[in-house]
Structure 1
Amino acid sequence: MKDYLIAVADDDKGNLKVAKRILSIYGYRVDCLSSGEELLEYVKGIKPDLILLDVHMTGIDGFDTIHKLKADHSARNIPVIFLTADDDAETETKALSAGAADFVGKPFVASVLLLRVKNTIELNKLQTDLKKEAKKLSADFLEEHRRNERLSMQVVKALAGAVDAKDNYTNGHSTRVAEYSREIARSAGFSEKDQDKIYMMGLLHDVGKIGMPDSVMNKPTKLTSEEYELIKSHPAVGCDILKNITEMPDLAVAAKWHHERYDGTGYPDGLKGEEIPKEVRIISVADAYDAMSSRRSYHDVFAQEYIKSELINGKGTQFDPVYADIMLEMIDEDTEYSMREDPDAYMVGDDGFAVEQTNRNDDNDFVFGFLSMLEAGGLDTAVGMKYCMNDTEFYAEMLTEFTRGSDDRIRHLEECVACGNIEQYRTHIHSLKSSSKTVGAMDISEQARVLEEAAKAGDGRAVIDGTPAVVADLRAIVGSILMAMSIYGLTD
C-alpha cells in the first residue's frame, strides 16, 4: 500500500481518535484537524490524498468547507468523504451534490470506513491515471487497447467495491458473484470472450444500490413496505447508470433484470423463462448462492446442505434448472466449502450454520467483570466494543475520552440554551449523539437524536425542556464509567 496521507476534520476529539486509530492500523498516515477553518489553512501547504470531513462542526460547517475547497484550484481535486451521524437521504443528497465522493456514518464501523477510504483513493487515482493516459499518444495501438482494457476493468472493480461498501454485510459480494457466474458460464460451454463479458456483468449487477440511502441499506430490522419498494427500484437505477455504456449494453441488462425469476414472478418486468437473457439467468443463481453463503443483517452463513436444498427447491421457479444444476455440481466439488465469504473466519457448527471464529479475550475474568459493571451502569457494551473494533483496551481509551469531554459538552449545551442559540446547540447535540453511541451510551444517543430533531425544527421549547434530562443522564453515566474504570484500575 502506498503511504497515503488522509486529513480528518472533525470538532469531536473522540471521532478524530477513532478515525486515526482505524486508519493508522492499516498503514495510512493521518493528520487530525478540529475545524473547517483549520482544514482550509492546512491544505494551503499540504495536499492530502483524501479528506474526511464532518458535516456538523462549530464555526463553518462541512458544506461551507467543501464549497471553499472546490473553489480553490489547488485543492479542488482532493476527494472528500463526508462524516455524519445523520441518517436521512436529504443530507446524503446534499453531500453528493456539494461534490463529496462518498459519505460514512458515525459512529464508525471499521470495515465500512476502510472500504470507502480505499475505494475512494483508488477511484481518484484511477481517474487521475486515465486523464494522464488520455493526453499521451501511443505508437502501438494494440498495446494501448490492452492497457485501456486493464484500466477499464480496474475502474469497474473499484466501482463494484464502492457499491459493496454501501452495505455493512456485502463486502466482496459483487466480486464473488462475478467469479461464480464466470465458472457457471465456463461449465456451460460459453466462449472465453463470453465468460469475460458475464464476469463484468456480474461485477456491476448491483450498481443501482449506490443510489440507495444508507439508512435503508443497513437497516437491521424489517423494512417497511415503502422502504422495500425503494430497494426494489435499484435495478432501474442501475440500468440508468449503465445504459449509456454503448460498447457493452449487456451491463445495463444484468443490472435491470437480475431479480427476475424463471417462473415470471420476479421484478421489475415479470420476464419468464428464456425471455430472461441467459447471462442474467446465470448471475441470478450466483447472486442467490452468495447471499446464502455470506453474512447478512438477517442471517449468518448457511451450511452447504441447506443451500443445496434451496437451489433444488428453486429449480424451475426462481432459477433456470440448467444453471442451478451446474451450481449444485460446483457445491458438490467444493468439499472444503471454500466458496463463501472469508472461509478462514468461519466454521460450520452442528446446527448447520456457520459460526464466526474469533480471538477475542471476552472470557477473561477481568474483561468480563469490567464490561459487566459498565452494563450495570447503563452502557450497551456490545455496541461500544463493536465501534472500538472489539479491542477492550481501545474501548477503555474511548471511554476516557468520552468522560473527559463531558463537562465541556454540558457547558456548551447549557450556554446555547441560555442564550437561545439553536443553531450552535444543534451542532453540539449532534456531536453528543455520535460520541455517546460510539461508547454504547444508547439512551443518551437517542435523547440527543430527539433534541437534534427539535433544534432542526426550531422548537426552542422542546430544547429547553429536554436539555436538563439529557445533561442529568450524561452526568450519571459518566459517574458510572469513572467508577468502573477506577475499580478496575483503568484511570490515569
Structure 2
Amino acid sequence: MNDIFRLKELCTNRSVLYVEDEKDLRFTLGKYLEKLFEKVVLAADGEEGLQKYTEDDFDLVITDISMPKKDGMVMSKDIKNISQSQEIMIISAYSEPEYFLDAIRIGVDGFILKPVEFTQLNTELLKIMTKIEMVMTLEAYNSSLERLVEEKTKREHTLELEKIKNQKRVMVSLIELIEKRDSYTAGHSIRVANYCKIIAEKMGYDKSNCELIYEAGILHDIGKIGIPDTVLLKPGKFTDQEYQLIKQHVDVGVDVLKNIPMYKGIVDVISHHHERFDGSGYPHGIKGDEIPKLARIMIVADAFDAMTTNRIYKKKKSISEALDELKSLSGIQFHPEVVAVVVKALENIEIDDEISQMPQSELEKERFAYFYKDQITGAFNQTYLENILREYKVQEKRCDMYAVNLHGLGNYNKRYGWDNGDELLAEVSRYLNDKYKSSILFRVHGDRFILLNCLKSKLDLDDFDKIDFLNTHNIGIEISEVYSGKFKNDNIEKLMESIYN
C-alpha cells in the first residue's frame, strides 16, 4: 500500500502521453492513469502520438508496439531523436527477446506485457517515476549550484555539505530503485560492494579509492532496471537471445550514470565489471592489464558472491571451495594480482546461509511468478513447480507434495462446454487455495492439481464430498501422495514425469 501512495506522490504535477490503438484498453488504462497523473493525453496510433508529442511536453510516454500508420517502436525512435532523455514505457503483447533488445537499444525505460496487470504496471511506473524524480533533483541542484557560483557567494562550506547530502540522497534513491525491482540483485550489490572495499583495502588503495569502489559495487547492476521482468526475473536458464539482453545491463547502467557528475569516477569500473583476463568477457572484450585496476577487483568480488550464494540451478559453494575456484581461474578469468590478495582477504568472511534467488516478499512472489501462473485457474503452472523443486533440492528442504485429481471432467466438458469446464476448474482452484492457505497450489495437467507444503494430517477427502458444485455434476476427487521427506538427490525429471502421468 505504501508503494501506491509513493507512486501517486511521484506522479503529482506530472504528465503522460498514452498511445494505444485498442479503443477499450485506451479508455480503461487512460482512466486509471488519470487517477495518478495531473495530465493524461491519449492517441490512437503512432502518427497521432508523435504529433501530440511535438505539441506539448510530457514526463512519460507509454505506447503499444503494433499500431496502424506508425508503430510504437518507430514512434519511440522518432521521439528519442527529438529528446534523447525522454522516458518511454512500452506495453505490448510481444514477448520475443528481439523486441526487448530493440527497445533497450532505443533507450526504452520499461516494458510490460499484455494483458495488463495493474500490479505490474504500478511497479514499472514506480521505477520510472523514481528515476525521473532523481534526475529532476539533480538538475535542480546543479541549477542552484551554478546560480550560487555566478553570484560569487562565499558559502563554500555550506555548498560542500549540501553536495554531500545530495550525493547520499541520490545514492539512497538508486538503491531503492534496485530494491523495488529485485531484492536479490540489491542484496548482491551490497555484498559485492563490501567485498570490493575489503579487497581494495588489503591491496593498499587509499580511502578515496576504497570509497569509490564501494559506491561502484552498490550501483554496478543498476542497469538491470532496463531489463524486462520476463528476462530478469526468469527462474529458468536463459536462451541465447535472453542472455544477450542480460548483457545489455552494463551499457544501460553506464548510460544511467555517465551524465551524473558525482558518479563519473565509477562509470569506468561499472563499464568493465564483466570483462575477463583472457579477453573473452563483455562488453569491450579487453584483456589483462587493459582492464582498469578497480574493475579487476569488482570482477573477482562479483564472481565470489555468485559462487557463495544459492542459485536456483546450483547449490552455493563453501568459502574454501569458492576461493579454490578463483585460484583455478587465475590468469584465465581473473587477474592474478587480485586473486592472490582475495584468497587471504576473504578466507574468514561470514556469509548468510539463507541468501537465495527465490522471491522473499509477497509482492516479489507475485512479480516473480507473473509469467508462471495458469491463465484459467490462477494457480501456478508446472514450470514454476519445477523451479521451486530445484530450489528445494539445492537447499535440501523438506517437501510434502500431494496430487489432487478430478474425475469426470471430460464428460462435464462434453455436456456443458469447455468454457464451463474452465470455470469449474477455477472454482476448484479457489476452493483449494482457501482451504489450504499455507500450501502452494499448482495446476500441472488438465484435471490435476498439486499441493506443495501440505501436511497429510490436514488433507481430508471427506471435505471434498461436501462440495456442492462437484457433487451436482458427478465430479469425483482423488488425493494421492507424490513425495514426502527431505529433498536431496532425487531426479526432478522423473518426479515430474510421475506427476504428469
3-state SS, counterpart of residue 347 of structure 2? helix
Unaligned 5+ runs, structure 1:
8-33, 52-58, 347-353, 361-383, 391-429, 444-467
Q: Which has the higher contact order (CA 8 A, sep 6+)?
A: 1
- CA drift of 1:386 comes to 4.8
Q: How does 1:203-242 map to 2 (within 5 A)?
A: 203-236=218-251, 238-239=253-254
Q: Could you tell me which residue of structure 2 aligns to residue 309 of structure 1?
A: 324
Which one of 187, 197, 201 corresponds to residue 186 of structure 1?
201
Correspondence 1:177 to 2:192: yes
CA contact (8 A) 2:276 2:285 kept: yes
CA contact (8 A) 1:264 1:273 kept: yes
Cα 1:2–1:330, aligned 2, differ >3 Å: closer, same or farther? Answer: same
Q: Could you tell me which residue of structure 2 aligns to residue 439 of structure 1?
A: 379
Cα 1:134–1:47, aligned 2, differ >3 Å: closer, same or farther? Answer: farther
Q: Could you tell me which residue of structure 1 aligns to residue 297 of structure 2?
A: 282
CA contact (8 A) 1:82 1:102 kept: yes
Correspondence 1:387 to 2:366: yes
Which one of 80, 87, 94 corresponds to residue 95 of structure 2?
87
- CA drift of 1:270 comes to 4.1
Cα distance in 2 between the residues matched to 1:50 and 1:305: 58
Cα distance in 1 between the residues matched to 2:170 and 2:364: 35
Amino acid in structure 1 at the alignment position of 2:131: L
Correspondence 1:298 to 2:313: yes
Cα distance in 2 between the residues matched to 1:329 and 1:185: 13
Q: Could you tell me which residue of structure 2 aligns to residue 372 of structure 1?
A: none
Q: Could you tell me which residue of structure 1 aligns to residue 423 of structure 2?
A: 475
Amino acid in structure 1 at the alignment position of 2:337: V
CA contact (8 A) 2:231 2:242 kept: yes
CA contact (8 A) 2:175 2:218 kept: yes
Cα distance in 1 between the residues matched to 2:32 and 2:122: 23
Q: Could you tell me which residue of structure 1 aligns to residue 474 of structure 2?
A: none
CA contact (8 A) 2:224 2:253 kept: yes
Structure with more of its chain in strand, by fraction? 2
Cα 1:216–1:6, aligned 2, differ >3 Å: closer, same or farther? Answer: closer
3-state SS, counterpart of residue 171 of structure 1? helix
Cα 1:292–1:105, aligned 2, differ >3 Å: closer, same or farther? Answer: farther
Q: Could you tell me which residue of structure 1 aligns to residue 411 of structure 2?
A: none
3-state SS, counterpart of residue 131 of structure 2? helix
Deviation track 1:348-370 (CA, whole Å, cap 9, x = no partner) reads xxxxxx8999999xxxxxxxxxx
Q: How does 1:331-342 map to 2 (within 5 A)?
A: 331-334=346-349, 337-338=350-351
- CA drift of 1:305 comes to 3.2
Cα 1:86–1:162, aligned 2, differ >3 Å: closer, same or farther? Answer: farther
- CA drift of 1:83 comes to 7.1
CA contact (8 A) 1:273 1:320 kept: yes
- How large is the Cα RMSD of the aligned pairs? 5.7
With 279-288 and 73-82 compared, the bigger mean Cα shift is at: 73-82
Identity %: 26
- CA drift of 1:149 comes to 4.1
Cα 1:153–1:166, aligned 2, differ >3 Å: closer, same or farther? Answer: same
CA contact (8 A) 1:177 1:290 kept: yes
Q: Could you tell me which residue of structure 2 aligns to residue 4 of structure 1?
A: 5
Amino acid in structure 1 at the alignment position of 2:423: R
Cα distance in 2 between the residues matched to 1:357 and 1:238: 23
Cα distance in 1 between the residues matched to 2:260 and 2:251: 15
Correspondence 1:195 to 2:210: yes
- CA drift of 1:142 comes to 3.4
Cα 1:50–1:83, aligned 2, differ >3 Å: closer, same or farther? Answer: farther
Q: Could you tell me which residue of structure 2 aligns to residue 102 of structure 1?
A: 110
Amino acid in structure 1 at the alignment position of 2:293: K
- CA drift of 1:283 comes to 0.6
- CA drift of 1:291 comes to 1.6
Q: TM-score, normalised by structure 2?
A: 0.52
Q: How does 1:367-382 map to 2 (within 5 A)?
A: none
CA contact (8 A) 2:181 2:225 kept: yes
Cα distance in 2 between the residues matched to 1:112 and 1:308: 40
- CA drift of 1:245 comes to 5.9
Amino acid in structure 1 at the alignment position of 2:299: S
CA contact (8 A) 2:4 2:122 kept: no
Which one of 105, 125, 134 corresponds to residue 126 of structure 1?
134
Deviation track 1:304-324 (CA, whole Å, cap 9, x = no partner) reads 233232223223332223322
Unaligned 5+ runs, structure 2:
9-23, 62-86, 384-415, 436-462, 470-501
Bigger radius of gyration: 2
Cα 1:255–1:301, aligned 2, differ >3 Å: closer, same or farther? Answer: same
